[in-house]
Amino acid sequence: MLRSQASGPTTDGGPGASAPANVRVVDPVPYAPTPRERLKSFTKEHGRKLWWLHSAYALGLGVTVVVFAQKGFEHARWLAVSIGAAWMLVVFFFRVFGSGRAQAHHHTSKAKLRFFAMTYALKNLYQGMLFFLLPFYWKSTSFGSPNSWFVVLLGACALLSTLDIVFDRVVFRFRALASIFHGVALFGCLNLVVPALFPDTRTLVSLLVASAITVLGFWTIHLDFVMLKSRRWIALFVASLGALLGAAYAGRTAIPPVPMYVAHGAVGPIVLADGRLGMEVRDLHPSVIDKLIAITDVVVPGGKGDRLLHVWRHDGHEVHRASESTMHDASAVPLDKGMIRLRSGLTGGQLPSRLVGSWTVDVETQDGQIVGRVSFTVAE
């Protein structure tokens, strides 16, 4: 007969094994990542959301710049500094990182840090420039005229500069897209900077100077010093310069003549002694018309480098063109500095036999750029 043995502690690691009396067993402690590892994990999981959140923040800053720009035209000259910085940085960016697939080789942490640091600086420069431009181009745009589109293009570029993911992964991944984006910003800024630095400059001159420098800015992104030794590239540059200058001159009516704009304009039948209209009309019956008078107050913060005129149109057809020598209003009421008042009218035989329809009075420069527009309707 076998004797039963009391089971005691064993140390062979079997099912009934337990620790020696002098060893305390505790529950396993989970792995605790370092703060750096936690931050890396968080950004990896929520990085895209953070970029979109930053885009909303950048848009808010852009709105602040718009408000600041409305304080005065004298700040426009500082755009020259932003233009120069952005120009040098974008050229340096593509010299370092290349374009398209070439950027994929820069996959190390240090290379990525340099990439995002440079694109972040570029985005801030472009945001400041483009949002600063918007109020000036908005005022100078005559909606419904050929120059309506340009302020929309600038607004789209300003919005694009706040979208970090699109800007980094699309626009500045390809040299061609980046150079077009840079060209639009450069042209828009220079069109405003030239009259800010050189008052009383004719708007057509500002337009052509901006176009020429934009061509130069475009090619500096694509060319290097070796290419400058080739006559073929030099010929291509000269040809593109001539082509864009010709296009700028031919399409000058499609660009707002910043910084000029019409602060107030109206049409009426009578003029008071102080030079104002006795009444301002938007709709009137042909039976009460024996003469029509248009008065416009034009703001010229960059000086008056252009001769201005009124162009009367009926249903889109030109009826009368009043030269500046016949339009100046010699009213006794002093106007604000940097503002001129223009007046013209239609009387008697200048009025067409059929008055019913849509009428406009455009303030135009001598080169045909529309500064502002007054509209009214004649209906039975």
> Could you report the per-residue pLDDT of 296-337, keeping only the tens digit for each?
999 999 988 999 999 999 999 999 999 876 566 555 455 677
Q: For the chain, what's the residue count?
A: 380
Q: How far is CA 220 from CA 93, 128, 173, 177, 270, in A?
A: 12, 22, 17, 14, 57
Determine how β-strand 308-314 pairs with β-strand 261-268. unpaired
Same domain, 221 and 109: yes
Give yes or no: residues 249 and 276 share one domain: no
Asked if 363 and 267 sit in the same domain, the reply is: yes
In terms of C-beta density within 10 A (0-12 exposed, 13-18 middle, 19 or more buried), how is residue 20 classed? exposed
Same domain, yes or no: 166 and 234: yes
Structural domain total, the chain: 2
Residue 285: give its domain's CATH number.
2.60.40.1930
Contacts of 158 (CB under 8 A, 6+ apart): 62, 126, 127, 130, 131, 133, 134
Percent pLDDT > 70 in the chain is 78
For residue 116, give Cα distances in angstroms to 113, 194, 209, 337: 5, 32, 33, 46
- CA dihedral sign, ordered 320, 347, 299, 65: negative
250 & 265 share domain: no
Q: Are 300 and 257 in contact (CB under 8 A)?
A: no
pLDDT at 4 over 70: no
Helix axes 231-250, 203-222, angle to 10 degrees: 150
The residue from 207, 237, 254 where one domain ends is 254
3-state class of 177 per DSSP?
helix
**Cis, bond preceding 259 (omega within 30 deg of 0):** yes
Is residue 371 a contact partner of residue 316, using CB atoms and an 8 Å limit? no
What would the mean pLDDT of 25-48 be, rounded to a whole number?
65
Same domain, 272 and 172: no
CA neighbor of 115 nearest in space, from 167, 180, 43: 167
Stretch 7-16: mean pLDDT? 51
Pick the closest to residue 189 from 120, 118, 258, 245 (CA basis): 258
Residue 31 lies in a domain: no
Mean pLDDT of 208-221: 95
Burial string for 204-214 (b: 16+ CB within 10 Å, else e) reads bebbbbbbbbb
Mean pLDDT for all residues in the chain: 84
- Most confidently modeled range among 15-29, 35-49, 181-195, 313-327: 181-195
- Asked which of 14-18, 147-151, 286-290 is least confident by mean pLDDT, the reply is 14-18
Mean pLDDT of 168-186: 92
Domain annotation covers residue 218 = yes
Convert 226-237 to b/e letters by CB count within 10 Å (16 or more is b): eeeeeeebeeeb
pLDDT at 328: 60
Residue 75 sits in the same domain as residue 184: yes
End of a domain among 254, 275, 298? Answer: 254
What pLDDT was estimated at residue 49? 61
Q: Is residue 22 a part of any domain in this protein? A: no
> 219-238 pLDDT, tens per residue?
999 887 777 778 888 899 99
The mean pLDDT value for 76-96 works out to: 90
The confidence score (pLDDT) of residue 41 equals 67
Residue 24 belongs to a domain? no
**9 backbone dihedrals φ, ψ, rounded to 5°:** -65, 140
Residue 326 belongs to some domain of the structure: yes
Asked if residue 313 lies in contact with residue 359, where contact means CB atoms within 8 angstroms, the answer is yes
- Does residue 2 form part of some domain? no
Q: Does residue 103 sit in the same domain as residue 170?
A: yes
Residues 6+ apart with CB under 8 A from 161: 58, 62, 123, 126, 127, 130, 167
For residue 240, what pLDDT is reported?
95
**Does the residue 21 lie in any domain?**
no
Mean per-residue pLDDT for 66-85? 80
38 within domain boundaries: no
Look at residue 219 in the predicted model and tell me its pLDDT: 92
- Triad 249, 253, 257: Cα angle to 5°: 95
- What is the residue whose two structure tokens read 């938007």? 282
Note down the domain range covering 114.
48-254
- Whether the pLDDT of residue 40 is over 90: the answer is no
Bridge partners of residue 271, in order along the sequence: 277
- 204 shares a domain with 92: yes
Q: What is the mean pLDDT of residues 154-177?
A: 90
Q: Which two tokens stand for residue 339?
A: 């503002």
Q: Which amino acid is at 19?
A: A
CA 29 to chain CA centroid, Å, is: 56
> The pTM is what?
0.80
pLDDT at 174 over 70: yes
Predicted confidence band at 133 (pLDDT cuts at 50, 70, 90)?
very high
User: Which of 210, 230, 254 is the last residue in one of the domains?
Assistant: 254
User: Is the predicted pLDDT of residue 124 greater than 60, yes or no?
Assistant: yes
Q: Are residues 69 and 189 in the same domain?
A: yes
**Percent of the chain having pLDDT more than 90?**
50
Residues 326 and 187 in one domain: no
Q: Are residues 184 and 308 in the same domain?
A: no
